[in-house]
Structure 1
Amino acid sequence: MMLKVSHIHHIAIICSDYQRSKTFYSETLGFRIIAETYRESRESYKLDLAINANQQIELFSFPAPPERPSRPEAQGLRHLAFAVDDLDDCVAHLNRQGVATETIRMDELTGKRFTFFADPDGLPLELYES
């Protein structure tokens, strides 16, 4: 039997500086805030952000979270990729916001263009032209 998954619902990210990451994901990347909750018992914020109608990012803060290797070749989740229609426009937007992007490359398997950048905690993020 195969699971009947329709789409990825959310990606959960734990950040080191909640306000900085909230600004990055909601203002720099432009993801719409759905809900923001402070959980007093955990001393933790949970911010729900809409990427589109089907996918979300859950941004969490926790007191003193341990660091995790985030280099693209570290074991575990390699990176988070966002599909975009106009890669050049998106790169220009990020650069105007002070976000450094890597040189645009070509996926040798698909012929699609892509680039990487990082969130405030160094999490590797990718823009992939669809």
Structure 2
Amino acid sequence: MFSFHHVALSVRELGPSIAFYEIFGFEPVFRWQSDDGELSIVHLKQGEVLLELFRFRTPVDAPHTSHELSTDLPRIGMKHFGLKSEDIDIAAAHLMKLGLVEHIEIVEGRTGIRYFFVKDPSGLMVEVVEDNRKL
């Protein structure tokens, strides 16, 4: 009856955000802009999953607590989304080679996965996971 459809993100600028998510295999499939230019929407697709990017002419910054994982997790609301990698070591090396980040610390999670976080151009946290639990 139901299946996952999309995640919506408000971003500061579309160009850098689209380029960032293209690194992870997402491709732009839809664009729309309001007549007054106040709002632009882009849908990026990877497989059956959509990322819906909103870009407002006058964005409102996220609260300071959302800038770090340790202060964001206790706050009620959506935290981040995860992208799966078959080999997290290769994924981390690839992102560092592209200059996306200088250093990545891969964490052995309490739930049995390996993961790390990167921030997109708007500072939104994206988790990259290697999950071999076969859940």
TM-score category (smaller protein): 0.7 to 0.9
The runs of 5 or more residues in structure 2 that have no matched partner are none
2:14 alignment partner, one of 9, 12, 18: 18
Confirm or deny that 1:79 pairs with 2:80. yes
> Who is 1:45 aligned against?
40
Question: Following superposition, which runs of at least 4 residues in structure 1 exceed 6 angstroms of deviation?
Answer: none
Distance 1:23 1:36 in 2: 15
SS in 1 for 2:83: strand
Confirm or deny that 1:36 pairs with 2:31. yes
SS in 1 for 2:15: helix
Deviation per CA, 1:39-94, whole angstroms, max 9, x where unpaired? 22452221111122x21101111011111132323222111111221111211221
- Output the aligned Cα RMSD: 1.7
* Alignment: residue pair count: 123
Distance 1:45 1:89 in 2: 34
TM-score w.r.t. length of structure 2:
0.81
SS in 1 for 2:60: coil
8 Å contact kept, 2:38–2:58: no
Distance 1:32 1:89 in 2: 22
> Who is 1:104 aligned against?
106
Q: Tell me the percent identity.
A: 28
8 Å contact kept, 2:18–2:28: no
